[in-house]
Amino acid sequence: MPELPEVTTVSQILQEEVQGLKISQAEIFYPKLIRDSTPEEFIKRVKNQRINKVYNQAKYIIFELDTEMMISHLRMEGRWAYEKEANFSYNKIIMEAQFKFHHQETVLRYYDLRRFGTLQLVTKKNFFENNPLDKKIGPAANNPHLTGAWLQEKWNKKHRAVKSLLLDQSIISGIGNIYANEILFAANIHPKTPGNTLTRQQLDLLLTESRRILNEAILHKGTTVRTFSPTVDSHGNYQKFLQVHNRQGKKCPRCYGTIIKIQLGGRGTYFCPNCQPS
């Protein structure tokens, strides 16, 4: 799925739905879902723990339990659904995990068509003393404290195309393919521009536009593309505001030139050659 706005939306919905519920039983139907422990150990560690809070760090969903942090990454197609046990929101076959709760008829399920998603436990003590996510990913792209000066220091030895740098979660986290395309259009920057050649002004603009676009997308509950929705019966609406993504051959909303699509680092890349010159 899902980039930062969609993951934020999903975790906000989950927070409302499952906060306070106490897990009576967990079941894992696809063992490779679980990272860093066996499914058996995972099941044992979450049993009888209460979900105290659900929130996200960039593209990771974090369930704060009593003594464990349960960390979910949806990758491309992962979905959580809080639903009646008899109702399956998605194909039963692609259900990978199920959580039952004390005194509840509703269950929490994880579905993943492409089976890329991951679920792992980190003890709370470990998480708060030495958050493993902080070692893996940089600050979130909508963090208001990021500055162009900081980004210049991070990118000044990077020859790579700016689009691939925006997608590199170890530097800035939360931006994926759709929003990378939208942010570069908003900042009038050609996706292939080498990171180390961007001016301080362009870097400042990139960060302002990242913040603006991600935060607006959160307000619209994310972008619904293909099959993803925050829940089965709710949809994100940000797709109405997309300027270039998936719009090759259509008119640029700014200059009325034609949007083109190229491959960059294996990802579909959409831009307006007129507004974003090389």
Partner DNA sequence: CCTTAGACCTGGAGGC
Partner DNA sequence: TGCCTCCAGGTCTAAG
Interacting residue with DNA among 139, 253, 268, 273 (CB under 7 A)? 268
- Whether 2 is a known active-site residue: answer yes
Pairing type for strands 118-123 and 34-35 reads: parallel
Catalytic annotation, pick one of 59, 79, 109, 221: 59
Q: Residue 112 in contact with residue 80, Cβ under 8 Å?
A: no
Interaction of residue 68 with DNA, rule CB under 7 A: no
- Whether 267 is a known active-site residue: answer yes
- Whether 59 is a known active-site residue: answer yes
Please tell me the distance from the alpha carbon of residue 73 to that of residue 90, in angstroms, as a whole number. Answer: 18
**Only segment of 61-69, 114-122, 124-132, 197-205 that touches DNA (CB under 7 A):** 114-122
Q: Residue 33 in contact with residue 112, Cβ under 8 Å?
A: yes
**Only segment of 16-24, 43-51, 139-147, 222-230 that touches DNA (CB under 7 A):** 222-230
Interaction of residue 232 with DNA, rule CB under 7 A: no
For residues 90 and 104, which CB has a smaller minimum distance to DNA in the complex?
90
Interaction of residue 266 with DNA, rule CB under 7 A: yes
> Which residues sit at the interface with DNA, rule CB under 7 A?
1-3, 6, 32, 59, 73, 75-76, 93, 113-116, 136, 157-161, 164, 167, 169, 176-178, 222-228, 236, 246, 263, 265-268
Q: Which residues are catalytically annotated?
A: 2-3, 59, 267
